[in-house]
Amino acid sequence: MANDKINNEEEPEIIYIPDDEGNEEEFEVIMKFEVDGSDAKYMMVVPMDSEDEETDEVYAFRYEEDEVGDDIKLYMIDNDEEWAIVEETFNTLVAELDGGE
């Protein structure tokens, strides 16, 4: 179902996303993946300033990287059909990780 591009590095990948007021908030990338049959790439992130890891909200974005990989553009997922595909893929990958440990 998905191209397993899961971020399992020792050092967490950190990105900064501006909020509504332009203040940059720090997020940890917990997973990156592509959906089969699509060129779209997705990343799942959690806020770094959260004190309770058990209740962390996970945010999903479609993203594009420049050719060098230095610059990432994030896009909100506002299409219900696309969101359903991303959610299903994420849940499947998490279940595979939980079962593999």
Q: What is the pLDDT of residue 98?
A: 79
What torsion do the CA atoms of 46, 51, 57, 61 make, to the nearest 10 degrees? -20
Domain count, the chain: 1
This prediction's pTM: 0.74
Where in the sequence is the domain holding 76, given as residue range(s)? 2-100
User: Tens digit of pLDDT for each residue in 38-65?
Assistant: 889 999 999 987 665 566 688 999 999 8
